[in-house]
Amino acid sequence: MQDLYLLHHSINCRGMKKSIDVSKVDASGIAGFVSGVRSRDPIRDRNIIVWALPGRATLFDCYIFLSHIYYVVCSVASSCIMHSPLRIAVLECDTPIDKINRRYNGYGGVFRIFLKASVNALNQPERLDPETGMEITAWDIVNDDKYPNLEDVDAVLLTGSSTYQLGDPKHSKAYTNHNGPKPEHNSFEDTPWINRLVEFTQQVLAQDRVRLLGICFGHQIVGRALGSKVGRSDQGWEIAVCDMDMTDEGKEFFGRDKIRIQQMHRDIVFEYPPNVIPLGSSPRCVVQGMYAPRRFVTVQGHPEFTGDIATETIQKRAEAGVFKEDQAQDALSRANLEHDGVAIGVAFLKFLLEE
């Protein structure tokens, strides 16, 4: 009976998990050093390198074997420093109002700035470098109907969407009434592009590698994809900076006892889907956040909104008659209050990086 020593080295493709194992197996009839056998493990998204050494090897075989161990240790150390970027696909579920759109170049631009600020606040460059740690792509799913290949991304983010289309008509084929606002972007509507988004969301939820973030409308789409009722709230609009009361799990996830977040909605998810962890609630909305470890996290609010974005959106909707004057004034008085958007973004990033 002859022993065979195996050196097994695996590295997660984003460099977030490394392992080296040496094991002994029966290897009768095998002689000499078995050179590095490289393979790919697509299920766990990692590269695998295996070297084998018979127990009755020559001194030269042992020297080569130990040299490869040294090489592996060095490569692991190097991989700890150089990570592949975290690939995030932002699915743009709407076009911002014109002034915001020109400033940020769509919601993809809004989220690039938001996520960059969150990476800086995370302050863990060894895990996520502020300059090179993310690769963010934007997908205009309303007008182009193109979606990312899940093999090419690590996370999918569903943005918010206006209940009333207030942008320039030429920027959206969903805008069909040029004389005033028209309801078009309701998460519960039987609309082709929304139905397609629900189907894609279900595809993401059906696998276990690519993770999902849902914001406002995106939060509702995730709820709908999981079978929950989504619709118009009888509590009316929730606008500008509001408190979000946390569950115990929400406090642990976000790292604080209470969250203040920008809001801009009157559609809601009515109940939590099965096997989902509730994160928080508010007087106007019971389902403010949903979480499934290593699968998805959603919030009803807008952590990406700045005070300027909230202010301009409120003013535009007031001009269009969506908000009453007293309602708009109350919201404007809270639009620039301090909120926890970046802290929420940090929690999102920790979720995406979690093994």
For the record, the structure tokens of 182 come out as: 């028209």
Residue 302 bears catalytic tag: yes
Task: Exactly one of 216, 242, 265, 312 is catalytic; name it.
Answer: 216
Question: What 3-state class would DSSP assign to 8?
Answer: strand
Q: CA 46 to CA 49: how far, in whole Å?
A: 10
The number of helix segments (H) and strand segments (E) in the chain equals: 9, 15
Q: CA 104 to CA 92: how far, in whole Å?
A: 13
Question: What 3-state class would DSSP assign to 223?
Answer: helix
Task: Exactly one of 83, 219, 302, 339 is catalytic; name it.
Answer: 302
Task: Exactly one of 285, 304, 312, 339 is catalytic; name it.
Answer: 304
Q: Are 83 and 353 in contact, with CB atoms under 8 Å apart?
A: no
Tell me the sheet residues that pair with 4. 25, 54
Q: Are 284 and 238 in contact, with CB atoms under 8 Å apart?
A: yes
Q: Find the helix or strand (DSSP H, E) in which 134 lies.
A: strand 134-140
Single-letter amino acid code for the residue at 188:
F
Residue 242 bears catalytic tag: no
Residue 216 bears catalytic tag: yes
C-alpha separations of 233 from 96, 226, 285 in Å? 23, 19, 8
Say if strands 238-246 and 258-265 run parallel, antiparallel, or are unpaired: antiparallel
Q: Which are the catalytic amino acids?
A: 216, 302, 304
